[in-house]
Homo-oligomer: A and B are copies of this chain.
Amino acid sequence: MVEPRTLMRLFLTLCLYVSLATIPFAEARIRHYKWEVKYEYKSPDCYKKLMITINGRSPGPTIMAQQNDTIIVELKNSLLTENVAIHWHGIRQIGTPWFDGAEGVTQCPIVPGDTFVYKYVVDRPGTFLYHAHYGMQRVAGLYGSIRVALPDGESEPFSYDYDQSVILQDWYHKSTYEQATGLSSIPFGWVGEPQSLLIQGRGRFDCSTPGIEAGLCNATNPECSPYVITVVPGKTYRLRISSLTGLSALSFEIEGHNMTVVATDGHYVEPFVVKNLFIYSGETYSVLIKTDQDPSRNYWASSTVVSRNRTTPNGLAIFNYYPNHPRKSPPTVPPPGPAWNDSAPRVAQSLAIKARQGYIYPPPQTSDRVIVLLNTQNKFNGYFRWSVNNVSYNLPHTPYLIALKENLKHVFDQTPPPTGYDTLNYDIYSPPPNPNVTTSNSIYRLQFNSVVDIVLQNANSLSNHTSETHPWHLHGHNFWVMGYGVGKYDMVNDPKKYNLVDPIMKNTVPVHPYGWTALRFQADNPGVWAFHCHIESHFYMGMGVVFEEGIEKVGKLPTSIMGCGDTKGFHRP
């Protein structure tokens, strides 16, 4: 039984929310946050383990801003012996490439006891993310949402009554140290599939699973009560759905409700309706949902692993029709989700995403340069690695941005990485004939303002008949998604099929199993930018590259990003 007081509180919260959302904004302002990062014991799926929290929470506080606002985050590292860095995922950092938060690329890590100040402008409206970008800290819980509203007087090309953010996540019971150490050991140790799926930081692990240490799992812990999306009947809800999974590709659905996809990665989508939304780590989607179903009951909101033979149970939240009790279980069996190994509907969704009419940024019709990136699983000195064009990537300990500005040529390999692979002879449908690769920290240097095409080419991993989905995320840019294809990319014919009319712009895009994905972007943002598979373990194991463009146009670096590797002493007090 829900108490009337609880219901009233919920109602008042809703009212407050609506009133806040309608306060007229003045001009661009400064949004100032003070965050403390530390370890805490939490039970997000009923199993108690250490999480990295921000001000006691994971997901951390949502950054709420308006286009052109300046965000200032004073981040205090209160971890005991561990450094940290935070990336503002989807924010281009125009004029502030030093605050992109990618450790080893744009900054030194923030040591315990230090307070680091990130300061940047959110130049585009939309739904973005933030998360740790150091080691594998993201999967320890250090992440959150950024929501940027339109400027005063502008309105979106769709309407809705309420607006809510939901981050999807997968969750491991092993620590990030345990995960990372296993991945870089001989013999290779993999912690396996995640134990649970979280929806806005809440999931449910079955505490009666055999072999669980006594006292660690408590099914009645309120921290793992299902996340509740409370709605009133007959309204339209905007749901901003993001994924920051460590590993899993997901399908998300709300039982009995269609979703109209209207935006992704800060760009409007020509609306289309889905029953379930496929979403990959690093992506954000806005969908509209009408609360037009039987209001006398609640419904399941559910996330399901796809693209891998799932062992992780579905993540469940409650889509609660007011005034039903928010904790009342829906009377139905949760939806099972789509078949894990059917990639056709996932490719279909990718193809369905076009820029919305009236909001099209026309792509350059030609490119100045094409870089083909073969995605493979490999070995290096007996270690499992992921590679791009048979080079597995290693982060340096002196950030490129500083090394390039200060002309420290010795800190990374100056030879350019390969811009393609042996397209003629390489069989993408078989495991690599020679699994051994090299490692490097060399980077691609792009001509400033040039138009660059990237073709991500997927292939078979080390196991027969296996090709995974890799979501690639580009820092510092939005790119046009020019096309997707199945099989080996054809340099001659496939470009002819590119969408030159209404391609969507994104910052994260999947390359489907045995398929290819073509992107185009303009190298117009002076800085050094990571481009990598957003699966935490894959980037850790070498699946990434780095682009430099217009380094000579980058302004004076703040010394706060310095102090590590060969930039010791560069940090002036």
Contact = CB atoms under 8 A, between A and B. Distances in A.
A39 B210 contact: no
Interface in A25-76: 39-41, 50
Interface in A83-109: 83-84, 108-109
Contact of A80 (B136, B214, B566): B136
A557 to B, nearest CB: 13
Sorted from nearest, which 8 A-B pairs have the closest CB atoms? Answer: A113-B397, A81-B135, A568-B571, A211-B214, A80-B135, A39-B181, A569-B571, A569-B572
A136 B80 CA distance: 8
A564 B181 contact: no
B563 A573 contact: no
Contacts of A569: 559, 563, 569-573
Interface in A182-224: 182, 185, 189, 210-214
Interface stretch (A161-169, A172-180, A523-531): A172-180
A565 B566 CA distance: 18
A113 B565 contact: yes
Interface residues on A, range: 35 or more
A134 interface: yes
A177 B175 contact: yes
A480 to B, nearest CB: 35
B175 A111 contact: no
B81 A114 contact: no
29 contacts: A39-B177, A39-B180, A40-B181, A41-B181, A50-B175, A50-B177, A50-B178, A50-B181, A80-B135, A80-B177, A81-B84, A81-B135, A108-B111, A109-B112, A113-B397, A114-B564, A175-B175, A210-B214, A211-B212, A213-B213, A559-B569, A563-B568, A563-B569, A566-B573, A568-B571, A568-B572, A569-B570, A569-B572, A569-B573
A112 B180 CA distance: 14
Contact of A112 (B182, B397, B566, B568): B397
Contacts of A111: 83, 108-109, 111, 397, 564
A370 B563 CA distance: 42
Contacts of A214: 210-211
Contacts of A177: 39, 50, 80, 175, 177
A559 B571 CA distance: 13
A268 B101 CA distance: 56
Interface string A532-573: 000000000000000000000000000100011110111111
A108 to B, nearest CB: 8
A569 B572 CA distance: 5
Contacts of A213: 211-213
Nearest to A397: B113
A137 interface: yes
Contacts of A572: 568-569
A115 to B, nearest CB: 10
A80 B81 CA distance: 11
Contact of A41 (B41, B134, B182, B571): B182
Nearest to A212: B213
Contacts of A185: 40-41
A571 B111 CA distance: 15
A82 interface: yes
Interface string A372-410: 000000000000000000000000010000000000000
Interface in A129-154: 134-137
A511 B429 CA distance: 70
Nearest to A83: B81
A175 B114 CA distance: 24
Contacts of A112: 83, 109, 397
Contact of A81 (B137, B559, B563): B137
A83 to B, nearest CB: 6
Contacts of A189: 41
B113 A564 contact: yes
A11 to B, nearest CB: 32
A420 B562 CA distance: 44
Given A81-B84, A114-B565, 17 more contacts: A40-B185, A41-B189, A80-B135, A80-B136, A80-B180, A111-B111, A111-B564, A114-B397, A175-B177, A177-B177, A211-B213, A563-B568, A563-B571, A568-B573, A569-B570, A569-B572, A569-B573
